[in-house]
Structure formats: structure tokens, C-alpha cells
């Protein structure tokens, strides 16, 4: 097959789930499978995890939630996006949990119940410092009073999101944690309690003490990557994704040969340049070319020049590979390993950006 391919190792996904479950002392894991499971295949990963004991999932949009239901997922599904008044019937029909992040959202949920008699399932999103979606701290008493006054609103959970839980300096995360505790105390003092309470994300699971409530939202750790280089990295998670591509041409070139756009790479001796059938349109980050490499038969082979849209070149030196051989670009398979964190750290990106950027024209193959 003369095209790049992504292999998703579902056995590794299950093993990572088990490791995280142990790390959080058996608390409920809400597996985050938004953005097509961070590029790994949301529905397939969810089906695998549900069959392995996971009973809570999170996605961003109503459409992603419906996709999971259509794939046969029976477990709870939380929608992270702002509540969409025009799609409340779908939330009922597909049994999706909606996000209340604004007073207007709660008003719409109450109005919907008055008009239809149906109670929407919801979680309350509070802003403790991300400054994205969420109820402001000062508005919490008003919102809680509305929930007390309208018990027909099924507000099953409350949560917030850390902004810096994957950084070495945790002072801001601790401030957020303190605010979240104070919000919970306000609710308790007003006689309101929540079934599901969640604050920790992947970074917090590894890095923020006492942030674990009864539910933990986990995404990147399940897929076998650490959210940043500033968190403890001793949990033996395995990369679930392997990204490979074939060598389509090998050319012997003399010293002084310029390779790829701009001619920024120049050979310093007779060498063998391999053309790899993959480019930045497939998800290989273009900035990686400066210090990047691929792995072939356990050896690092440096990238030669700028990554093109559909192809890139590598310098094999004296080695003469076979056309049709595959090189590994991301992941681990046999003797070859390039962790996605290595690439993201080198190009000052994140594993999230790289994983979700691996394009739709790249075929996914599921194993395990």
C-alpha cells in the first residue's frame, strides 16, 4: 500500500485504562473521546473502553455524542460544548448530558421542561480560572438557588477545568482547586449536592494532589502520551497510535545536493535519499524537519529538508533501503519508537495538536 497508515493498538488502550484506573484509586474515569478520539477513532475507542469497563464518556458536540450512540455506546455521554437550544430534543432522544455554563443555559433547560414535560440531563460547568466556558464564581448562589427551586432539572454533576495542571508551577492550579472547593461548599450550604464531581484532567491525575473527586476526566493518558514534559512521567503508558509510511523512491546523490523546498538541506557526502509518501497534509508537523527523524529497523534516520504537503525526504547515508519498506514517524512498533511527546517538545507544540492533526485521508487500522 503506497500511502501512510495509522495503526491503533486497542490492547494498549485497554492497558492504559487499567493503569490510570489504578492511579486514581478506582474512581470513575470519564474517557474523553472528542475530536475523533484525539485522532485515534472516537467510536472505536469508546466501544473498546466500554467493553473493558469504562461507563462514562465525554465529547465536545451533540453530533459527536450521536455518533457514539449510533455506534452502540450505552454509557453516559457528557457534551462539553455550550448548550444549543435548537437541539434539546436530540439530547433527550439520544440520552445525552448537556453542559450548563451560562445562566441562559439553565433558563432554557427550565423552559424546555415547562413546555414539554421532559427533564434534560445536565452537568454544571463553573469557571475557576480557565476563562472559557463556565458559570462565574459570583453567580453560583443564584444558579444553585434556581436548581433548588426547580428539582425537575436533572443537574447530575458539577465540574471545572484546570488551566495549568500540566505545568511545573502549580500555584494557579491550587488557586483553582480552592475556588472549586468553595463553590461546592456554597452548594452544600444551600442544600444542593451533585452525583458526579470532576475537576482533574490528565495533567492533574499525575501532578495535582487532592484534586480527585469521584469522577476523573482522562483523555491523552488513555492514548499513551503525557500532556507535557513538566508532569511526572513514571506511569508506564504505551502509545496507542503508530504512524508509518512507505519509502516510494531511493536516490543515490552526490555531495552538495540540495533537497526539498528552499534547498535548506545540503548533502555533505555521497548518500541515499529516500522519498517517504507522507506530508504535512497527512499530519506530520512541518516544523519537525529541522531536528526531526524517522525510525527504520531500529535506527534513527534524519529528515532531509522541509516536509512537503504529500511527501518528505530522509537521508539514509550508506544504507540502501528497499522501496516499499515502511518508516515509523510516531509511536512504537518492534525496535522502532518515536514518542509523540518528543516531537511536540522539539517543535514547541503539544501532543494534542499533533494527534488531532493526523489527517482524515490517512487510513486507520485497528488491532488488538
Report the distance separating Cα 118 and Cα 207, nearest Å: 41
Q: How many CA atoms lie less than 13 Å away from 354 in the CB half-sphere? A: 30
The kind and range of the H/E element at 11 are helix 10-23
Name the catalytic one among 114, 188, 261, 363: 261
Q: What is the DSSP letter of 262?
A: G
Report the distance separating Cα 185 and Cα 279, nearest Å: 52
- From the list 240, 180, 239, 188, the residue with the least C-alpha distance to 204 is 180
Are the C-beta atoms of 303 and 288 separated by less than 8 Å? yes
Catalytic annotation on 125? no
Catalytic annotation on 34? yes
Are the C-beta atoms of 302 and 314 separated by less than 8 Å? yes
Are the C-beta atoms of 32 and 217 separated by less than 8 Å? yes
Please enumerate in sequence order all residues whose Cβ is within 8 A of that of 91, keeping only pairs 6 or more positions apart, or say none: 62, 79, 98, 120, 121
Report the distance separating Cα 202 and Cα 157, nearest Å: 19
Report the distance separating Cα 281 and Cα 301, nearest Å: 21
- Grid cell at residue 148: 433548588
The DSSP annotation for 94-161 comes to TT-BEEE-SHHHHHHHHHHHHHH-PPPEEEEEB-SSS-SSSB-GGGHHHHHHHHHH-TTSEEEEEE--
CB contact burial 154-171 (16+ within 10 A = b; e otherwise): bbebbbbbbbbbbbeebe
Please provide the size of the chain in residues: 368
Name the catalytic one among 34, 47, 125, 244: 34
- Catalytically active residues, by annotation: 34, 261
Amino acid at each position: 500500500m503506497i500511502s501512510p497508515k495509522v495503526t491503533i493498538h486497542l490492547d494498549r488502550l485497554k492497558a492504559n485504562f487499567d493503569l490510570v484506573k489504578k492511579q486514581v484509586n478506582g474512581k470513575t474515569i470519564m474517557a474523553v473521546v472528542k475530536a475523533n478520539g484525539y485522532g485515534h477513532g472516537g467510536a472505536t475507542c469508546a466501544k473498546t473502553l466500554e467493553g473493558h469497563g469504562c461507563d462514562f464518556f465525554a465529547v465536545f458536540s451533540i453530533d459527536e455524542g450521536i455518533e457514539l450512540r449510533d455506534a452502540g455506546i450505552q454509557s453516559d455521554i457528557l457534551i462539553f460544548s455550550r448548550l444549543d437550544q435548537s437541539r434539546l430534543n436530540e439530547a433527550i432522544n439520544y440520552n445525552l448530558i448537556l453542559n450548563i455554563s451560562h445562566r441562559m443555559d439553565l433558563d432554557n433547560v427550565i423552559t424546555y421542561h415547562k413546555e414539554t414535560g421532559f427533564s434534560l440531563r445536565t452537568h454544571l460547568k463553573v469557571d475557576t480560572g480557565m476563562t472559557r466556558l463556565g458559570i462565574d464564581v459570583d453567580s453560583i448562589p443564584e444558579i444553585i438557588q434556581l436548581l433548588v427551586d426547580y428539582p425537575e432539572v436533572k443537574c447530575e454533576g458539577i465540574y471545572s477545568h484546570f488551566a495549568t495542571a500540566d505545568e511545573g508551577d502549580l500555584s494557579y492550579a491550587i488557586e483553582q482547586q480552592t475556588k472549586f472547593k468553595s463553590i461546592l461548599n456554597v452548594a452544600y450550604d444551600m442544600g444542593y449536592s451533585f452525583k458526579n464531581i470532576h475537576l482533574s484532567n490528565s495533567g492533574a491525575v499525575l501532578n495535582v494532589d487532592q484534586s480527585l473527586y469521584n469522577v476523573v476526566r482522562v483523555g491523552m493518558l488513555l492514548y499513551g502520551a503525557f500532556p507535557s514534559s513538566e508532569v511526572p512521567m513514571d506511569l508506564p503508558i504505551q502509545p496507542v497510535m503508530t504512524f508509518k509510511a512507505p519509502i516510494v523512491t531511493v536516490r543515490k546523490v552526490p555531495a552538495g545536493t540540495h533537497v526539498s523546498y528552499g534547498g535548506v538541506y545540503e548533502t555533505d557526502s555521497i548518500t541515499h535519499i529516500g522519498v517517504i509518501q507522507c506530508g504535512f497534509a497527512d499530519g506530520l508537523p512541518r516544523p519537525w524537519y529541522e531536528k526531526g527523524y524517522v525510525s527504520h529497523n531500529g535506527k534513527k534516520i534524519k529528515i532531509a529538508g522541509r516536509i512537503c504537503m504529500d511527501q518528505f525526504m530522509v537521508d539514509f547515508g550508506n544504507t540502501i533501503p528497499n522501496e516499499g519498506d515502511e518508516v515509523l514517524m510516531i509511536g512504537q512498533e518492534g525496535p522502532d519508537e518515536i514518542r509523540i511527546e518528543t516531537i511536540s517538545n522539539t517543535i514547541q507544540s503539544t501532543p494534542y495538536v499533533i494527534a488531532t492533526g493526523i489527517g482524515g485521508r490517512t487510513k486507520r487500522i485497528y488491532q488488538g
